[in-house]
Amino acid sequence: MNLEVLLSTLNQKSWMYREGSQRNFWILETSNRWAKERPSFGSRDEQLAYARGYFDAEGGVPRSASARFYIQLVQKNESDLQELKVYLEEAGIRCRKTHNPSAAVDRDLWRFYVLAATHVAFAKNVSSWHLRKRLILERQLLRQPARMKI
């Protein structure tokens, strides 16, 4: 039984699309509407694994190597984003204030940035399984001055 069929038996909507016109890579997206409780994590490693998945899905880094480097996390669920921020800060990854970047465009969209001083800690401890993001993090890690290494 494939995942799309399984989700439909749970009355959960899902949709599939091809990522890129030249790639044979398909994405199945869904929203988790049936979960009433937030996940609880027993260890820091579990929190960091959660942060990795969150960053892969909802995070951003600049595409251009010439752009000023940043790590941002964006989400419509502000309390969910705040919980992620707590996990990161408990791991020594400092973050800027959670804010709404443009209430005129979307009053329910929230974001925070990882402080530049802890980009290396983020890259080493959270990282990414998203190919493009992981390569960008690794490239940025090589550029950091020796004083920034952990």
Is residue 74 within 8 Å of 58, Cβ to Cβ?
A: yes
Q: Which domain holds residue 17?
A: 1-36
Run of H or E including 75: strand 72-75
69-114: pLDDT as tens digits: 999 999 998 998 999 999 999 999 999 999 998 888 888 899 999 9
Taken in order 144, 121, 117, 110, is the CA torsion positive or negative? positive
Distance CA 2, CA 6 (A): 6
Give how many domains the chain has, as a whole number.
Answer: 2
Whether this prediction's pTM lies above 0.85 is answered by no
43-63: pLDDT as tens digits: 899 999 999 999 999 999 998
Note whether 57 and 131 are same-domain residues.
yes
Note whether 25 and 89 are same-domain residues.
no
Distance CA 100, CA 87 (A): 20
Note whether 14 and 64 are same-domain residues.
no
Under the banding of pLDDT at 50, 70 and 90, the label for residue 42 is confident
Percent of the chain with pLDDT over 90: 51
Paired with 95 in beta bridges are: 114
Note whether 124 and 142 are same-domain residues.
yes
Note whether 66 and 95 are same-domain residues.
yes
